[in-house]
């Protein structure tokens, strides 16, 4: 992965992380792209360049959260199987 792609991936993870916190604390309806952008120290245009719209951003949050839950579940299964 080149530097540009690495930076884009980091920026996307940062945006998704801030969006997840805002969706959780503020709620989906009250969380705006502008608010996520401000918290992420990027412009709203940067968010739209990375995610089609607010629903796309929410889907990215759900995918990220789902992967985390899956990893936790796998650790629990592995621990149970090792006993």
Per residue in 27-64, pLDDT tens?
999 999 999 999 999 999 999 999 999 999 999 999 98
pLDDT at res. 78: 79
CA–CA separation, 57 and 63 (whole Å): 10
- Which domains, ranges and CATH numbers included, belong to the chain? 3-81 (1.10.357.10)
Q: What is the pLDDT of residues 1-34, one digit of tens each?
A: 799 989 989 999 999 999 999 999 999 999 999 9
Number of other CB atoms surrounding residue 79 within 10 Å: 9
Say if pTM beats, i.e. exceeds, 0.85. no
Q: How confident is the model at residue 83, as a pLDDT?
A: 67
């Amino acid at each position: 992965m080149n530097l540009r792609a690495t930076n884009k991936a980091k920026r996307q993870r940062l945006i998704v992380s801030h969006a997840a916190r805002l969706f959780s604390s503020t709620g989906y309806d009250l969380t705006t792209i502008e608010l996520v952008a401000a918290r992420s120290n990027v412009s709203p245009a940067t968010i739209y360049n990375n995610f089609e719209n607010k629903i796309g951003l929410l889907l990215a949050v759900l995918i990220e959260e789902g992967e985390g839950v899956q990893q936790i579940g796998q650790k629990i299964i592995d621990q149970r199987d090792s006993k």
